[in-house]
Homo-oligomer: A and B are copies of this chain.
């Protein structure tokens, strides 16, 4: 019988991000895309604490109407919904901002 190993941290993160997407996308019964209402719900719930950090610039104004402007920029095919690749562009942008903020926090680190 094949041995089933535990997921690694990377695998766990990938599965969790998809589960979060499906959780919010499924609020209207169709879990393949985020509607405007679902996107607002996701932003105001899942990315709340990022507002109070150095990542605020990236998520600027995400609680006011301009969050929908952000959604428009992410909505590459302009169908008024965010599919998985479009959603992941947001996650990727946040991750890059997160990495940059880590680097700024250790400006004196000496690379060898």
Interface residues of A (CB under 8 A from B): 2, 5-18, 20-22, 29-30, 32, 42, 45-50, 52, 84-85, 88-89, 91-92, 94-96, 98-99, 102-103, 111-112
Contacts and interface: CB of A to CB of B under 8 A. Distances in A.
Contacts of A52: 2
A85 B92 contact: yes
B88 A8 contact: no
A96 B84 contact: yes
Given A29-B111, A88-B92, A88-B95, 16 more contacts: A6-B49, A8-B45, A8-B49, A10-B20, A10-B46, A12-B16, A13-B91, A14-B91, A18-B98, A18-B99, A21-B99, A22-B102, A84-B95, A84-B99, A85-B96, A88-B96
Contacts of A84: 95-96, 99
Contact of A18 (B7, B42, B95): B95
A9 B96 contact: no
Contacts of A46: 8-11
Nearest to A91: B14
